[in-house]
Structure 1
Amino acid sequence: MLGVEDGWVLTATSNDALDAFPILHSRDLEHWEHRGFVFPEGSAPAWVRHGLRTGDFWAPEMARVGDEYWLAYTARDQTGALAIGLARAPSQFGPWIDNGEPMITGGKVLTPGGPASGGVIDSHIFVDQDGTPYLFWKNDTNGLWPRPLAGLLREHPPLIQQLFESERDRRTAAFAAAIQPWANSRRSMERFFWMQPLIEAALDNWTRVKPALIAFGKAGEIVQAMRTPIHARQLAPDGRSLVGEECVVLANDLDWEGHLIEGPFVTRQNGRYWMFYAGNDFSTPAYGIGVAAADHPFGPYEKRGEPLLKSNREWWAPGHASVASGVNGRPQLFFHAFLPGQCGYNEFRALLTVGLEFGPDGVELREV
C-alpha cells in the first residue's frame, strides 16, 4: 500500500499468472479501480522464470523515490531460486522498466544436481527523511530445513518420540519421513504440500523441537536453517545497485515467531524507526504481526515481546503489513488475513486495516 497525491495504490502477489502484479487505485480506501499490471503478459524480465506452474511473482512493494516510483519484488530466476528484482517507472501506473537482472540472489542447492531451494523474498524499500533509499529483505532459509529434518527422522526414528508430543504429530512426522525420497523428486509446489504438514507439526512442538535437535548433536544445518534473518542494505541513488555493507537487522528469537519472520516494513514515526514484520507460519492461526523500534534504519531494533496483531474470531493469520496515512491523515496498518479455519496456500486473503497510535511507550492499535 502506498499513499499518493490522489489517493492510494495497491499492488499484490500474482503467483504464476501471465499478467504479473496487478495495480489498483483508490481515492477513498473503499472503492478500487484496476489500473493495469506491472508486467503484462509477454513483458516479464528475461532473468525471471515465468509461466503456469513454473513462475512465482510474490510480494511487490512500491515506493516513491525522488521523481520516480520504484517497485521491489520476488520472483524465481532461471535456476528456480527465489530472487529479488527492482523495476522503476515515472508514474505509479508505469510503464515499468526492470533493472535487467536480480538485485539480490540467495538460492542454495541441497543436493548436487537437485532443485534450488531457499533464496531471498519479501523486499521492502524504505526512504529516509533525507531521501536515502534502503532495501530490506528476508533470507528464506525456512524452506531449507523440512526435507533434511524428514531425512533425519527417517534415519533415526526414535527422534520422532523426542520431538513430537501428540500421537497425531508423531504420525505426521513418520509419514513425512517415509515418503521423503519420493518427495525430493517432485516439483517445488508438490514438495511444498508434502512439507507443510511436517512444518505445522514442528511448530505445534516448537519449544521442544529446537532444543531436542540441538541436544541430538547431528542436526546443526537444520537448526541453522530455522533462523530466518531480515537483512538490509543501502540502495544507490539510481536504484540500479546496492552500496555499503549488508547487515542483519532482525531474526526470529521469540517463541511466538516460530521458524521464521518475514514481510518487513519500516516507517519513521516520532523520530524513531518502526519495523513491522510477520512471524510464524502463514498457514496457521499462530501467524501474526510483530513490531520493533530503533534509532537507525539498521537498528539495533528492540522488539515488542508479543505480537501486535494476531488471530481473532473474525480473521486468522494477519501478515505482511504496510503503513500509510489514512483518509483522516493518521497512520494506518494495512495487512492481509484469512477467514477463520481457511489458512493456507490458494485460500482467500482479504486486505484489512487498523489504526496506529505511536507514543513514547510504543505503538498501539486504534479504530480507524
Structure 2
Amino acid sequence: MFRNSCYVFVILLILQACSRSSHQQGTKKTTSGNPIAEGWYADPEGAIFGNKYWVYPTYSAPYKDQVFFDAFSSPDLVNWTKHNRILDTVNVKWAKRAVWAPAIVAKGGKYYLFFGANDIQNNEQQGGIGVAVADNPAGPFIDYLGKPLIDKFYNGAQPIDQFVFHDKDGQYYIIYGGWRHCNIAKLKDDFTGLIPYADGTTFKEITPKGYVEGPFMFIKDGRYYFMWSEGGWTGPNYSVAYAIADSPFGPFERVGKILQQDSTIATGAGHHSVIHNTKKDKWFIVYHRRPLGETNGNHRVTCIDEMLFDEKGFIKPVKMTHIGVKALAIK
C-alpha cells in the first residue's frame, strides 16, 4: 500500500511539473528583464538599424581574454538574439588584448565598428582606437585601416572609449578618452582619418568637471547633451553624469548624476549609451552594472531602462530595475 502511494505521489509531481513547464512555455515575455543577456558584458553601445535594436558590448573578462565582440539584436527590446564573435582579433593584426567599448555607425551601406585595443599606457606602445567594417550589423567585421585610427595620447586622453557622433550638419566626430580627459576630433567622410580644424589643431579637449571616461552625446530639442562615466569602473561608485550645451564643443557645465548604484538592485552602474526610438519618441539608457554580492571587477552585466526628461529638458534620475523595459517595436 505504501509503495503504491509513493508511485501515485511521484506521478502527481511529474504531472505538476509538466503542467508548469507548459504554462511557462505558453507565457509570452512582455518585458526585457535585466540583464538583457546571459554572461558578463559591459560598456554597451545601443543602436537602431532597420527594424531592429542592436547592442554591442564589451566581453567582460581579463584583458588577455578580451579578444572578440558579441552583439545582440531585438525587434522589440524584449527578445534578444546573440550574434557570436562579430569581430575577432584574428582579423585585426595589431590588436592583441583588451578589445573593448565598441561604437558603431551605419554609412553608405556599410557598418563601421570603432573599438579600443591593447590598453596602451604611453605613446611607445602599439594600440589605441581602431575601425572595423562589415556589410551587415552582425558582421563579420574586419580591420578597416590595418592600423589604429588614434594611437597616441593627446591632451592627456588615453585613446579608449570612443563614441562617434553625427552632428545635424552631417559632420561625424569621434569623441573619446580615458584618464579623465576627453577629446573631440573631426572624422573624414570615409572614416580613414581625421580632419584638422581651421586653427590647425586636430584634437580639441571638451573635458567637463568630474569626467573619467565613457563619453556619449546626443541632440534633443536643438541642444547637445554630453554624458560620461565617473568613479572607478571596478568600484561601487561608478556612475553616469551629464551636461548640456549649444555646441558639440561645449562649454559643458556639469548638471549632475542620473545613474548610480542602488543598494537594493546593483552597484557599479555606468559606461552607458542611449537609444532613441524616434517614431515613438521613447528614450532608453543601455548600461552595465554589477550584481549585488559580486566582487570580481569583470562581473558586469548589460541592462536597459527607460530614460525620462522633465518639462525643462533635464534628464530625470534613472531608476534601475530588474524588470527592464516593456516591448516596443521600432515603428
CA contact (8 A) 2:160 2:176 kept: yes
Q: Please say if residues 99 and 117 of structure 2, whose CA atoms lie closer than 8 Å, have aligned partners that are also in contact.
A: yes
More relative contact order in 1 or in 2 (CA 8 Å, sep 6+)? 2
Question: Is 1:317–2:268 an aligned residue pair?
Answer: yes
For 2:167, the aligned partner's letter is D
- Residue 303 in 1 paired to residue 260 in 2? no
CA contact (8 A) 2:100 2:117 kept: yes
Question: In structure 2, the residue corresponding to 1:357 is in which secondary structure?
Answer: coil
Long gaps (5+) in structure 2: 1-45, 197-201, 320-324, 326-331
Query: What secondary structure is seen at the aligned counterpart in 2 of 1:120?
Result: coil
Q: Does residue 76 of structure 2 align to residue 125 of structure 1?
A: no
Segment of structure 1 superposing worse, 342-351 or 19-28: 342-351
Give the aligned residue type for 1:22.
D
Take 1:74 and 1:264, find their aligned partners in 2: how far apart are those partners?
13
Question: Which secondary structure state, in structure 2, belongs to the residue aligned with residue 130 of structure 1?
Answer: coil
Residue aligned with 2:161, SS: strand
Question: Aligned to 1:240, what secondary structure does the other structure show?
Answer: coil
Equivalent-residue separation in structure 1 for 2:229 and 2:141 (angstroms) = 28
Task: Determine the structure 2 residue equivalent to 1:248.
Answer: 205
In structure 1, what is the Cα distance between the partners aligned to 2:310 and 2:132?
A: 32
Q: What is the aligned partner in structure 1 of residue 312 from structure 2? A: 360
- Equivalence for 1:337: 289
Alpha carbons of structure 1 residues 262 and 344: separation in structure 2 relative to 1, 3 Å: farther
Q: Check conservation: 1:73, 1:86, Cα contact below 8 A.
A: yes
**Equivalent residue, structure 2, for 1:103:** 149
Which residue of structure 1 aligns with residue 84 of structure 2? Answer: 36
Does 1:72 pair with 2:114?
A: yes
Q: Where does residue 13 of structure 1 map in the other structure?
A: 58
CA deviation digits over 1:329-351, x for unaligned, max 9? 41111111111342542213232
Supply the AA of the counterpart residue of 1:237.
D
Structure 1: which amino acid aligns with 2:75? R
Contact 2:182 2:213 in 1 (8 A): yes
Match of 1:56 in 2: 98
Q: 2:218 & 2:128 partners in 1: Cα distance? A: 24
Q: Percent identity?
A: 24
1:316 and 1:341 in contact (8 A); partners too: no
Partner amino acid, structure 1, of 2:110: E
d(CA) in 1 for partners of 2:258 and 2:133? Answer: 33
Question: SS at 1:42's partner residue?
Answer: helix
Structure 1: distance between partners of 2:293 and 2:188: 44
Paired residues of 2:272 and 2:286 also in contact (CA < 8 A): yes
Q: Structure 2 vs 1, CA of residues 325 and 107 (structure 1 numbering), >3 Å: closer, same or farther? A: closer
CA radius of gyration, larger in: 2
1:350 counterpart = 2:302: yes
| Equivalent position amino acid for 2:103 in 1 | E
1:27-58 per-residue CA deviation (whole Å, 9 max, x = no partner) reads: 11121112232324632x1222x2xxxx1111
Identify which of 153, 173, 176 aligns with 1:134. 173
Quick check: 2:68–2:87 contact (8 Å CA) kept in 1? yes
Q: CA deviation at 1:364?
A: 1.8
User: Is this contact kept in 1: 2:131–2:148, CA < 8 A?
Assistant: yes
Map 1:101-180 → 2, pairs under 5 A: 101-106=147-152, 119-138=158-177, 140-141=178-179
**Whole-angstrom CA distance in 1 between matches of 2:67 and 2:159:** 22
The amino acid across from 1:246 in the alignment is F
Is the alpha carbon distance of 1:70 and 1:10 closer, same or farther for their aligned partners in structure 2, counting shifts above 3 Å?
A: same
The one-letter code sitting in structure 1 at the alignment partner of 2:169 is D
Given that 2:98 and 2:119 are in contact with CA atoms closer than 8 Å, whether structure 1 keeps it comes out as no
Q: How many residues align?
A: 260
Deviations 1:78-99 (A, max 9, x none): 9655511112223212342322
Equivalents in 2 of 1:100, 1:332: separation in Å? 35
| 1:131-172 Cα shifts (integer Å, max 9, x gaps) | 21100111x33xxxxxxxxxxxxxxxxxxxxxxxxxxxxxxx
